[in-house]
Structures are given as C-alpha cells and as structure tokens.
Chains A and B, each alone.
Chain A
Amino acid sequence: DADVTQTPRNRITKTGKRIMLECSQTKGHDRMYWYRQDPGLGLRLIYYSFDVKDINKGEISDGYSVSRQAQAKFSLSLESAIPNQTALYFCATSDASTPPLNYGYTFGSGTRLTVV
C-alpha cells in the first residue's frame, strides 16, 4: 500500500456540487498539506495542518475547507464546485521532527478533478 493514499483518483463533477477529496497516510507524520497543481503555476498550498487540532489556510484557501479527522486522515472539501477549481490535487505529509531539507514531503498520487 502507498504511504499516502488519495481517493478518488479521478472525479468529474458539476458546477455547484459539493465534493470531498480524501487523504490517508501510514507514515505516522503529524503534518499534512493540500496542494493544487495548475499548468504554468506549479503547486500552490490550499490548507495545511500541523496536528489534529491545528488547521491553517494556505495561499489559495477561498472556496475550500478541510477536516483533520485523525492524525492519518486529512480531507479537502469544495463546498460548491466551480470550473476554475478544475485541477490536479495533491495531499502531502511531513515529519515534524525532520526539517524539510532531509526528506521533504511525501506526496500522494493525486486526484484529477474536473468541474463541468
């Protein structure tokens, strides 16, 4: 099994629908992140959580919400999906005791979301 698992892998949804992307990890890491990838823009941080009770907005949090249900689970919700939220979404984890220098983040394989 993958260290960081994202579900679903692909999803097509209609404008205005609520959708949840899920992420679970077996790394035992405290820190979890949601990024989106867009062509020409790279990876941009949506939300991050340094432990179960700590949730923080990233640079592009508008239109998104998150829930950290447990140390191993971090879900991203689009309350009312719009077409410009069509993107590739990545969940990542990192170890609080290890600087990003050593291993960086561990990423999931991504969820390709299309809003029509």
Chain B
Amino acid sequence: DQQVKQNSPSLSVQEGRISILNCDYTNSMFDYFLWYKKYPAEGPTFLISISSIKDKNEDGRFTVFLNKSAKHLSLHIVPSQPGDSAVYFCAASPSNDYKLSFGAGTTVTVRA
C-alpha cells in the first residue's frame, strides 16, 4: 500500500503560468518531505525539501507547502519554464529512518 500518493499523473501548463503539484501521505510518522525532478534517461535529482516543523519552504521559483493536519503537501513552480517539463516525484521519510518512500510521479509539460 503506497504511503505517498500523487493522484495526478500529468499536468500541462502554459509557459509563465503557475504549476501546482499535489502529494498526499498516510504515514503520520513522516517528518521529512522532498521533491525530486526527473528528465528522460536520467536519474531523479533533488529539488526542494521541507521538514514537519515548517509549513513553507521557498527556493527561487519553487515553493513547497506542507499541511500536516491534512497530510498534504504541494509544490508550486512560478513562473513555469519549458525546462521544467519533467516527471516530479514526491518523497517522504520518518526522522529516525532515512529510507525514502516515493509517490508515483506527476509528468509536467510546459507549453510555449
């Protein structure tokens, strides 16, 4: 049973607009949450993370929001650029266990 769920397999957005990717989790022991980005024929690369003591973390065009009560996090990309077209994975880990659990991924396509 997947503990990290990304219910939208794909997202299409126009260049310059906001991309919002959603992720839900079921394990209340998760304390660390990360987003990875993956291009074809490459491995996933770390994008941004947040710990459970925060509700927002921002890094340039990327912002992650965490709602612990709802067991939900989201990734906002503003403004979206063509190079953002990729698969995005949500991942989570308890603080005492550095194994990451991943979601199924969301494929983002940024249209010119």
Residues of A with C-beta under 8 A to B110 = none
Q: Are B34 and A100 in contact (CB under 8 A)?
A: yes
Chain A: minimal CB distance from B25 (Å): 13
Complexed CA–CA distance, A45 and B91 (Å): 12
Residues of A with C-beta under 8 A to B100 = 45, 100, 104-105
Q: Give 18 new A-B contacts, CB below 8 A, not counting A33-B99, A43-B102, A90-B43.
A: A4-B43, A31-B98, A40-B9, A40-B104, A41-B2, A41-B104, A42-B4, A43-B44, A45-B100, A48-B99, A100-B93, A100-B98, A101-B50, A103-B46, A104-B49, A104-B100, A108-B43, A110-B42
Q: Which residues of B contact A (CB under 8 A)?
A: 2, 4, 6, 9, 32, 34, 36, 41-46, 49-51, 89, 91, 93, 95, 98-105
